[in-house]
Copies of this chain bind each other. A is one copy, B any other.
Amino acid sequence: MLDPDLIARFAAIVGVSNAITDRNEIAPHLVETRGLYHGASPLLLKPASKEEVAAILKLASETGTAIVPQSGNTGHVGGQTPRAGKDDVLLTLSRMNRVREIDTSANLIVVDAGCVLQSVHEIAEQHDRLFPLSLGSQGSCQIGGNLSTNAGGTQVLAYGNMRQLCLGLEVVLPTGEIWDGLRKLKKDNTGYDLRDLFIGAEGTLGVITGAVLKLFPRPRGHQVAFAGLASAEDALVFLGMASDICGTSLTGFELMVRLGVEFTVRHIPGVRDPLSEAYPWHVLIDISTSDSAESAETMLQALLEKALAADIIKDAAVATSSSQARAFWHMRESMSEAQKPEGGSIKHDVSVPISSIPEFMAKAEKAVTAVVAGARICAFGHMGDGNIHYNISQPVGADKQAFIGRWREVNAIVHGLVLEFGGSISAEHGIGQLKRDELAEIRPAIEMDLMARIKRAFDPAGIMNPEKVIRPQ
């Protein structure tokens, strides 16, 4: 039980109406999207300024109160979920959602960390600019969470992760001090790279309250196509062709197994297979050009002709309108959602060297189905980045809970293979609670020790999102 006096002191900082103790109002913040973690919290604080955040963290450090920052609550690894059976105080910046500045000549935008990603897209568009970070959850996720998890998504191939899209940060430290690192410079070699330390730290080193983000010219040409292929090996050759022909204009290269396409056609209203025949593998290609609309068309045509002539792709549909292009993308983005009606799904967010993807796919399927007969591989992902969401739907008719109960066992098999290929067990979703212990097992002790030293140096009271990413010391 959090001391009522302490609750009152926190409430005094943000105002009583922004210090939520109502259980029903707090409830949605205690469960994450996949339902893997259920936490508890006596108090949800909604500060309106960095100064209020600073006062909250100062009081928390002085009183040893754990603070869990939560943005759009769309994370997949439980990083944003408070612990069960503790008195973790939730902190949301949803009231800090102002665009502080937009500078189209310098191609940058300065935002509060509570801005919803999609609102940043919209404001950039209104100024004829592109903010490229693109996620399925963009209607609810927030910039602070995107930064804290170094979010990736579908445009990483051309524009990079959130880390590459950020020029400067404003961070409130666990001690309540405010670091103003809101720089707007492309080049700045003045000491240790604090910015990149906070990005991807999942709220364990401080609370990001503001950021300078890069904008890009809106592409003049945009082409999307959906291809059918015989094998993952062919997809790899196709990726090589696409890189050769399109260079930096290749803005998306998404690989999907047939089953994923079938699930979306079956369960997502309005989705239909753009191709007339069924193929074992599919690729969604996205090309954006800065010089002209025609060059994107020329590139796509050249690529498809070459790939068809070489029998690397079997068929392809080109989106002839922007609504059709959105429909192709919608299929890809609904793939995780489309798994739900098929029962339980054991998920992986892995990366391997791109050239190893076909071999990884073959070995993983063999290993998983050897252990879980009838397991249905619904793998898809950002092949151009080496990042595969290796999801496994339960066998038809199996017991969902029994299947989900084998999560760790199946993880161990898939991740074991990932490590054999020199890959990562978390390409874009982060560590949170879900992969914390596994990370400590697979990484050298010195690496975990360096991370623990940084944690202690920045958060001596251990109040920032405790027990996430690294084990408590």
Contacts and interface: CB of A to CB of B under 8 A. Distances in A.
A386 interface: yes
Contacts of A366: none
Nearest to A184: B353
A93 interface: no
A150 B422 contact: no
A164 B164 contact: yes
B187 A424 contact: yes
Contact of A200 (B152, B179, B189, B352): B189
Contacts of A289: 247
Max chain B C-beta neighbours (<10 A), residue from A187, A188, A382, A451: A187
A420 interface: no
Interface string A445-473: 01110110110111000000000011000
B189 A149 contact: yes
A194 B387 CA distance: 21
A: interface residue count bin:
35 or more
Max chain B C-beta neighbours (<10 A), residue from A180, A351, A435, A451: A351
A67 interface: no
Contacts of A184: 353, 422
A173 B449 CA distance: 12
Contact of A429 (B186, B189, B426): B189
A197 B187 contact: no
Contact of A192 (B291, B351, B425, B451): B451
Contacts of A161: 187
A199 B195 CA distance: 13
Contact of A196 (B105, B156, B196, B425): B196
A458 B453 contact: yes
Given A184-B422, A446-B177, A427 B189 contact: yes
A258 B161 CA distance: 40
Contacts of A186: 156, 351, 354, 385-387
Nearest to A427: B187
Nearest to A452: B457
A424 B183 contact: yes
Interface in A277-311: 289-291, 299
Given A150-B193, A181-B447, A185-B424, 8 more contacts: A164-B164, A187-B387, A191-B439, A191-B443, A191-B451, A193-B196, A193-B199, A194-B451
